[in-house]
Amino acid sequence: MGESSISTPLDFNKIVKDVEKTLSKYPLCDHCLGRLFAKYGVGLSNRERGFSLKTMLGFKLHDDYSSKRIGEDRLYALAENSGEPLTRMLQKLFTQNVSPRKCFICGGRISDEWLDSLAEAVYEKLREASVTRFVIGVRLSRKLREKELSLIAEAGFTRAESLKNEVKREVGKRVMIKYGLMPDFEKPEATAIVKLDEDLNHKVELVITPVLLKGVYNKRGRNISHVPWFTKQGGRKYPLSIQEYLESRLTIPFKAKKVKIHAAGREDVDARTLGPGRPLVIEIVEPLVRSYDIGNINELIRSDLVEVRVSEPASRRDIELLKQTSRERRKVYRLLVISPTPVSETQLNELEAFFRNVSIQQRTPIRILARKKDVLRVRKVYEVRTRLVTSTSFEALVYCDGGLYVKELVHCDQGRTNPCFASILNTELKPVELDVLYIEH
């Protein structure tokens, strides 16, 4: 209730006039009329509310008619759009039967029995998936939504409840009372989505809440992708992916449909990820088993090649944060670089001296142009340390912003990355090994 309703007493004349105005335009059943005035009263169903409003309208119309302020036509029109108790009143006054028109919104389908049948359909779905804590979602067809909007817009009612909300509330209540399952808005095991078409035929879909786990991973080997990667011919490009590895370990114990991973960025497939690892969230999709022990999970997924360590449960928000912050996380890379001509210690010292807090301009690398838009990206290199391995190869540690294409920093990508190692050393360079050593957490 707004502040105005505290200071001003309820204006019943106004309410009855609004009911009359609405019913002179739209035929409405008790449920659908009551829903337009849902903010009035407490502990009432919309059906009770609607019937009461029609009764009040009956008082007014009877008085208007008796005092000759309105004629028979007006009474008939309103009775046709209202049904009971106005039709009964006309029966009494003129011994004439009026057949009421079908409700503009629901065609007369909404009833306690109809809500019961929805609750039963929801319960069946929840039972099949052994769900005890649920929430209900409602999706109305576009036409139904438009009808409801046109009615509410016309009536200008700020006191209305939406059909969606009524169905959600009434069905949820019934599932709880009749079947003993608990609505849980914080941590539901599943969302039962009731879909209603224009004729209010229903379909129930169950969306099982995924289990989300927060952790980090290390890739101790090369040529391991995040997700399975296939060639155009349908063959495998790489033998192993982190996602498939986790799927092979977690699908069965969780009785899940599949496993997805969400990581804070991703390294090149041929790069290893060493050091403290890269943050990720594991999403167990449609699990039928929902209780777990983190220690047991870590035992299940233990491996030398793909090392994942789960620390705690995660939320959807954690996934968003991972994506948002991946660019902000600074990195340390290790590269093994070879050159066709000898490289000296002095040259490497010059390289280190040059790449101190330098902004690097990079156009999208040629190797990924087919997949990504050609844009200019500016990232910073904070520090480079080098070590000569042989006269034609050296190791480099690069401390830089997230999102820097570090291989291109070495070989220049035909001038698309600037400045770069090759231009400073004035020779062609080839990065042959890449490791991620550190990702800011």
Active site residues: 268
Which one of 23-31, 71-79, 155-163, 430-438 is the stretch in contact with Zn ion (CB under 5 A)? 23-31
Q: Which is nearer to Zn ion, 27 or 279 (CB)?
A: 27
Which one of 24-32, 42-50, 133-141, 287-295 is the stretch in contact with Zn ion (CB under 5 A)? 24-32
Given candidates 19, 32, 135, 181, which one binds Zn ion under the rule CB under 5 A?
32
* In the complex, minimum distance from the CB of residue 200 to Zn ion, in angstroms, rounded to a whole number: 9
* In the complex, minimum distance from the CB of residue 149 to Zn ion, in angstroms, rounded to a whole number: 15
Do 288 and 321 touch, CB atoms closer than 8 A?
A: no
* In the complex, minimum distance from the CB of residue 167 to Zn ion, in angstroms, rounded to a whole number: 12
Positions at the binding site for substrate = 333, 405
Positions at the binding site = 333, 405
Do 279 and 264 touch, CB atoms closer than 8 A?
A: yes
Distance CA 147, CA 141 (A): 10
Distance CA 357, CA 208 (A): 48
Q: Which is nearer to Zn ion, 29 or 319 (CB)?
A: 29
Number of Cβ within 10 Å of residue 63's Cβ equals 11
Q: Which is nearer to Zn ion, 155 or 246 (CB)?
A: 155
* In the complex, minimum distance from the CB of residue 28 to Zn ion, in angstroms, rounded to a whole number: 6
Q: Which is nearer to Zn ion, 26 or 438 (CB)?
A: 26
Q: Is 151 a residue that touches Zn ion (CB under 5 A)?
A: no
Using a 10 angstrom Cβ sphere, with 0-12 exposed, 13-18 middle and 19 or more buried, the burial of residue 395 is middle
* In the complex, minimum distance from the CB of residue 159 to Zn ion, in angstroms, rounded to a whole number: 17
Q: Which is nearer to Zn ion, 44 or 269 (CB)?
A: 44
Number of Cβ within 10 Å of residue 59's Cβ equals 11
* Chain length of the chain: 441
Distance CA 439, CA 441 (A): 6
Given candidates 29, 78, 144, 280, which one binds Zn ion under the rule CB under 5 A?
29
* In the complex, minimum distance from the CB of residue 43 to Zn ion, in angstroms, rounded to a whole number: 21
Which one of 22-30, 153-161, 277-285, 395-403 is the stretch in contact with Zn ion (CB under 5 A)? 22-30
Distance CA 112, CA 98 (A): 24
CA 387 to chain centre: 48
Binders of Zn ion among residues 370 to 429 (CB under 5 A) are none
**CA–CA distances in Å: residue 330 to residues 46, 333, 345, 357, 401:** 57, 10, 27, 13, 4
Distance CA 344, CA 121 (A): 76
Distance CA 141, CA 33 (A): 20
What mask, x for binding Zn ion by CB under 5 A, covers residues 48 to 87?
Answer: ----------------------------------------
Q: Which is nearer to Zn ion, 111 or 223 (CB)?
A: 111
Strands 190-196, 133-140: pairing kind: parallel
Which one of 29-37, 129-137, 153-161, 369-377 is the stretch in contact with Zn ion (CB under 5 A)? 29-37
What mask, x for binding Zn ion by CB under 5 A, covers residues 84 to 103?
Answer: -------------------x
Binders of Zn ion among residues 288 to 327 (CB under 5 A) are none
Provide φ and ψ at 381, rounded to 5°.
-105, 125
For helices 163-179 and 112-128, the axis angle rounded to 10 degrees is 60
For helices 12-25 and 142-155, the axis angle rounded to 10 degrees is 140
Binders of Zn ion among residues 100 to 129 (CB under 5 A) are 103, 105-106, 110
Distance CA 438, CA 415 (A): 28
* Contact footprint for Zn ion (CB under 5 A): 29, 32, 103, 105-106, 110
